[in-house]
Every structure is written in structure tokens, then in C-alpha cells.
Structure 1
């Protein structure tokens, strides 16, 4: 079966949103009616995450000063209406964050902040300092194993084992930043400190397969769309175990985190009138859609392969944004809003006339 991925596109109509004042992290803010209060925010998006249970963390994390699990955005983004516009068709609107594995540790600064050793083992990419005590400030001050020095974000997932031996991805892993809505020109950068969990270690096999982030599932060789590790995996040096999984890309504009680490985010929905993908009214702010494309150097007999969190369908991942604001804004505007298929420098080889967003050192010129 041929490889496939979700592509969102459209044709030209008038009516793109105009945003006026620039807030933290390059986020434009507008005036208007505010988002719901804490209790309403959770209930509004609860249906989008039904069946994906995650224990709410009550320990103060340094960012969550009152320990209630809510981290307000400062400033919040209010008065936004989901865009139904259709910009000129561009087949791609994405860029890559190529990041190496930095370390493994039984920590999770989102679900178990300030509780070292509390979590199952995780494989961390990007920021080299990520641990149970990580905060926005500590990540911002840390170093990174992403090609772009400005990407000090933390990315992590359950460690994969073959028997009792951990198997770590080799080389830079591809983390896509894409437009999840038809109006790719409406996508804004992540606010600094935004964090969320995609999927759940306690989800069932059907919940994993039917999750909105499921793209190709587990694949190896010519076996695709698997909820479990594929049994047909050739023993060849060029064959690896792969997974593609997408994150929600619509934000409520109010919170950088919520107690279940999901309710402030939602997946795009289909607009019945136009059949376009738009953000729901409860989460109207379009952000980049992260897609993990992971590769583990394991093949052949996979009967002894497991995740630290359990079976194959317990896969999930975490994201904690610590990008340099100017670098992320430049990449989003050049590649996503610009309708390009960019590498980690923000260069589209099919459109060389557009130039690169970053220099040869993956930094702003």
C-alpha cells in the first residue's frame, strides 16, 4: 500500500483574517469576547478527547504557580473567529524540525512536574536539559540537539525496547510543522511555554487507531497502518520501524496548559458549508500542526518489541514549546503562511526563488 499523509488545501476566496497587535512569541492579539472560564474550557473540548485519559497533575511546576493545572497565556488571544478563507492552492505548507535524541529518563515535566522518576521511561529529543523539573525558563536557558539552535523545545515519547534493551532512534528525527487548516495563511506561531500531550498511555487499541492524529500508524517494510507492531518486517539494513502521528493544532487562546494537558488544544473540524478544515469555535486560534515521523533501528522479528508505556497502541508524545520567538515566527511566516515545503533551514528546493529563512548554521541571518 502506498504511503499517504494528510494534506489540507483550498482555492482562492476573499476574507482572510487580519490581526493587529503583536503579543508574546509573535502571537497577534485582538480585542473581543474572552474565552470561557476554566471549567467551561475543559468541558468544551472534552468531547474531542473522549477516551484518552490522562491523570491531571496537581503539583506546582514553576510555570503553574497555584498548582491547579492551569497555566494562563500572557497575554491571551481573544476575539478570534476561525478562518473559513481559501487561499491560493499550495500542495505543501510545512517545515521540518530535525532533532536528535538527547537522553532517556523516567521523567515527564508535563504530567509529573517536579517528580523525578515518577514516569515510565521517555526518550527525549531537542532540549538537552529536559527533566521532571523543566520549566519554560529552564528550557529557554538550555541547549538543543535540533539542527536549528533557536529550537530549544522539548519533544519526548515512551522509550522503545526489544526485550530489555532500549532501542533509540539514530540520526535526526523528522518533526514536521504543518498547516492543519485549509487557510494556511491564518496559522500563527506557538506561544512560548505552550505544552500538550498527544494520545495516551492508557488508550485502547481502537482508541489509538481511531485517534484523529493517526496517520500511517506503525509501519515496517511494506506493512502500513498498523495499530500493533507489524509482524511482516524484513531483516534488511535499510528497513526500520516507523510511526507517523499528528498533534492537535487549534488552541483556545487562554491556557498554555490545562489539568489533562489536552483540553486547551483541539483538532480541526470540517466546515459543512465549504468542506474546509477550520478550527472549532471553542479553539479558534490556528497553530502549527506537529507531526512526529519517528524511525527506530529495529526490524525482523518484532515479537519482543514493546514500549515503556506498554503495548504498541500506548504510544503518545509530549511537546513543550521553547523556540526562540523570532526564529519560530520567521519559519512559520516563510514556510507555512508562504505555502512552501521547507527543510530545517526554511528552504524549499522546488521554489529556490523564495530563498531560505535561516542561514547555513540554521540561524536567523
Structure 2
């Protein structure tokens, strides 16, 4: 076990809080920052149960336990596209998935350690648990509209008091282009996984996050970094959030120790309003956007996430799509500049047809 670069105070703090030494990396920045000890301890306590970079043991797909899972094959020699494609306002499809179960598990941050995380609400693959791997997820049963999408999606559970509030029905998960040259987007490699956002982020960090779209909203209340004090008590009002994932990949790793640094958000091309991938992460992948709706309204004073306040919202993605189906949807809808539903059909361009049949399968 390596402790290079960790401070002794962080190690002692983590030990005192009952946190594994494997999780010390995430505490180091907190413990080393200016401020008094009580503030540091409070911050550490509030995030126990989901510490980024905590998986430093051999498990699942990470045979040597160093946190790096190499892609096979690795994608090299890619130059970020700076081309301007034909105008297409939309370049997306949906992968709508329903809630499957809840559990205090996280196969990305705490692989092989059931119960180590705060409670998560899982969607998509029905088998997802702390022991999930690329092999175990691939081809597994799913609540997504397309049977080929065996991917795992999860987020911190939402509560009102002690009552867990689960989204009802299929939740909208967009797959879209995050770069101007939508023609350069390619499918996710199987086994790619990452965490979007952080349970440790502050309200300001949440608001300024590159994935922030509209924050928490309900009724006529928008752009909230924390839960609104109240929402209209009407049957048609739910609590909503939209949050986008990074869509540029370094081409080398399916995961990294912090579960984020192998991915990056697009950057603006100098002198333009065009988005492109940075040179460090040149491979353009679909940009996932969660659009979640929770059936809760009225007095919101007791609403919380299992990870803390509303601005601790984050989510995880573990790709296990059947590769031919994902490629067909990406090529037709994203690269093709269409606004597709879950079948890969754009009602504004019926002449382009659909990718999937009525059963959401490739013909």
C-alpha cells in the first residue's frame, strides 16, 4: 500500500474517523487545507461512505489494485477535430431506464466492498452490486428500453425525512454530442466507467461545474444549487435535475484512481464558440445527460440526498452496451445529426428511418 504524497495528519484523521487508509487520498486535500481541525473533521465525516479514489485493492476488473484499468486496445494517434460540420441543431438519442433497486454499494468507487458506500439508487442493469464487473454486467437483464443496454447507472438516493423517494418510470438519459463536430463522436468502449461530479463539492463548485445544466427545479423555481424550500403541491409537480457528464476520453484507461481524470469536458476553440476535445483527451464520446424526476413536492425542508445536501448530487456510469447496437445508435443519431428517441427514430425526419425495431432491438 502506497502512502506517497499523503500527509500524516490526513492519515491520522482518517484512522480516527474509522475510514480505511485506502481512502486517505481523498482526505488529504481537506486535511491539508487552511482551517481549524473541527472544520476538517466535519467535512471528512460528511463524506464518509463515498470517497473518490478509494478502490486501491485488487478486485473486479482492476487485477493489480492500482486504480488504473487499461483499455484494450488503447486508442492513440487521435487529433481532436476542429472542423465545423453541416448545421444540425440536434445530435442525440435517448436511453431511458427505470429504477431497479437501492443499495449502499458502488462498484466503481468501492469495488468488492458491499455496504461501503452511502445509499445509491440504481437504474439499468438489474444485477448491479458491489461486485459488478464488465463481464458480469455485459448481456445482463436491464430496465432500459433497449435490451442491448446492460449498462449500470446510479446516483445518491433521495429522501424526505426517513422515506426514500424513487423516480417513477423510465428516466431520461441522453446520449448526445458535446463537441461541435458531432461527426467525430464514437461509441463508448466496453467497460468504460466514471463518476460525474462529487459528493464533496461545495455549493459554488456545484453551480460552476461544467456539467451543471439547470440545477434543481420544480414548478417555476429553477437553477437551484440546493433543494428549494418548497415546491407547488400539485400532482403534476416533481423535483427535477439535469446534469451532464464529460465526453472527451484520453483513449488509454477505462478507469483511473479518482474515477474522473481519464475523462474531460470539451473546451472552446480559441477565437470561436466551437467546442472541441482537449489534446490531453482527444477522443470524442457521447455526452451523457441525466434528466431525473423525483415525485416529491410541498414542504421540502426535510428533503436530502444520502450523500448530503442537494449540491452533493453526482452520478456514476458503467458502460455495458452490446457494441453493435450502441454503434448503430451513435452513428445514426449522433453522427447523423438527428434528435432520436429510444429507438433511434427522429419524428422530424421520418425518411431517415429507425435503428431499432418495435422491440428496441436491431432488426
Aligned-residue offset at 1:230: 1.3
Q: Is the 8 A contact 2:93 2:339 kept in 1?
A: yes
Q: Secondary structure at the match of 1:155?
A: strand
Q: 2:265 maps to which residue?
A: 267
CA deviation profile, 1:125-144 (whole Å, cap 9, x unmatched): 00000000000000014210
1:1-365 to structure 2, matched below 5 A, reads 54-365=52-363
In structure 2, how many angstroms separate the alpha carbons of the residues matched to 1:297 and 1:121?
18
Aligned-residue offset at 1:56: 3.6
**TM-score normalised per structure 1:** 0.85
Aligned-residue offset at 1:59: 1.9
In structure 1, how many angstroms separate the alpha carbons of the residues matched to 2:175 and 2:59?
27
Runs of 4+ in structure 1 deviating by more than 6 angstroms, as ranges, are none
Aligned-residue offset at 1:234: 0.3
Aligned-residue offset at 1:232: 4.0
In structure 1, how many angstroms separate the alpha carbons of the residues matched to 2:58 and 2:140?
21
Q: Secondary structure at the match of 1:207?
A: helix
Q: Is the 8 A contact 1:61 1:135 kept in 2?
A: no
In structure 2, how many angstroms separate the alpha carbons of the residues matched to 1:109 and 1:60?
13
In structure 1, how many angstroms separate the alpha carbons of the residues matched to 2:232 and 2:62?
47
In structure 2, how many angstroms separate the alpha carbons of the residues matched to 1:242 and 1:199?
17
Aligned-residue offset at 1:61: 2.6
Aligned-residue offset at 1:62: 1.9
Aligned-residue offset at 1:233: 1.0
Q: Is the 8 A contact 2:71 2:253 kept in 1?
A: yes
In structure 2, how many angstroms separate the alpha carbons of the residues matched to 1:61 and 1:224?
42
Structure 1 pair 108–87 and aligned structure 2 pair: CA distance change class (3 A): same
Q: Is the 8 A contact 1:59 1:112 kept in 2?
A: no
Q: Secondary structure at the match of 2:106?
A: coil
Q: 2:21 maps to which residue?
A: none
In structure 1, how many angstroms separate the alpha carbons of the residues matched to 2:59 and 2:215?
32
Greater helix proportion: 2
Q: Is the 8 A contact 2:173 2:289 kept in 1?
A: yes
Aligned-residue offset at 1:86: 0.7
Aligned-residue offset at 1:54: 2.0
Give the unaligned 5+ runs of structure 1: 1-51
Q: Is the 8 A contact 2:243 2:290 kept in 1?
A: yes
CA deviation profile, 1:332-358 (whole Å, cap 9, x unmatched): 000000000000000000110000010
Q: Is the 8 A contact 1:85 1:183 kept in 2?
A: yes
In structure 1, how many angstroms separate the alpha carbons of the residues matched to 2:223 and 2:59?
37
In structure 1, how many angstroms separate the alpha carbons of the residues matched to 2:247 and 2:334?
13
In structure 2, how many angstroms separate the alpha carbons of the residues matched to 1:268 and 1:151?
25
Q: Secondary structure at the match of 2:76?
A: coil
CA RMSD of aligned residues (A): 1.1
In structure 2, how many angstroms separate the alpha carbons of the residues matched to 1:91 and 1:232?
35
Q: Is the 8 A contact 2:216 2:227 kept in 1?
A: yes
In structure 2, how many angstroms separate the alpha carbons of the residues matched to 1:112 and 1:92?
36
Q: Is the 8 A contact 2:230 2:301 kept in 1?
A: no
